[in-house]
Every structure is written in C-alpha cells, then in structure tokens.
C-alpha cells in the first residue's frame, strides 16, 4: 500500500514489432489487475516510460522482439 492506504500502481513495458514498426506498450496494473484505460502505447521507450511514470512505478520491461523467429 502507498501513502494514505492507497494501492500502488505499477506498469510493465513491452517492446513489440507490428508490421515492421517498433512500438512500446505500457500495461498499468493495481494489485495484479490490469487497468486497460490507463494503458499507453508510444514510439519510444522514453516517451512511454515518461507517460506512465507520472503516477506509476515501472516494474518490468520485456523485449518481445527478441523472441520472434
């Protein structure tokens, strides 16, 4: 729990490739439940991280492009 008993938001950022374009997707969670309306997609890691770090802790980063064959 955060200050004043509030739940802490965290975000996971995924680097993905869609139709030869790299995108960074941030999925926002509170207590393991995804908050889809707060998820965000950006063209760079920095832009995506800056957007979600205003009120979230970034907990994980996954490079999904490394797993593609």
Domain annotation covers residue 3? no
Q: What is the domain extent for residue 62?
A: 9-67
Q: Identify whether 4 is part of a domain.
A: no
Q: By C-alpha distance, which of 37, 55, 53, 46 is closest to 15?
A: 46
Question: Does 54 fall in a domain?
Answer: yes
Q: How far apart are CA 7 and CA 29, in angstroms?
A: 10
Q: Which of 69, 29, 65 is nearest to 45 (CA)?
A: 65
Residue 68: per-residue pLDDT: 55
24 assigned to some structural domain: yes
Q: Is residue 18 part of a domain?
A: yes
Task: Using pLDDT thresholds of 50, 70 and 90, give the confidence band for residue 69.
Answer: low
2-60 pLDDT tens trace: 555 568 899 999 999 999 999 999 999 998 899 998 899 999 999 999 999 888 999 99
Total domains, the chain: 1
DSSP state of 47: H
């Amino acid at each position: 729990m955060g200050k004043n008993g509030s739940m802490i938001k965290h975000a996971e950022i995924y680097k993905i490739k869609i139709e030869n374009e790299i995108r960074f997707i941030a999925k926002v969670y509170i207590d393991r439940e995804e908050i889809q309306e707060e998820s965000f997609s950006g063209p760079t890691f920095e832009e995506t991280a800056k957007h979600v770090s205003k009120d979230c802790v970034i907990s994980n980063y996954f490079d999904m492009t490394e797993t593609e064959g």
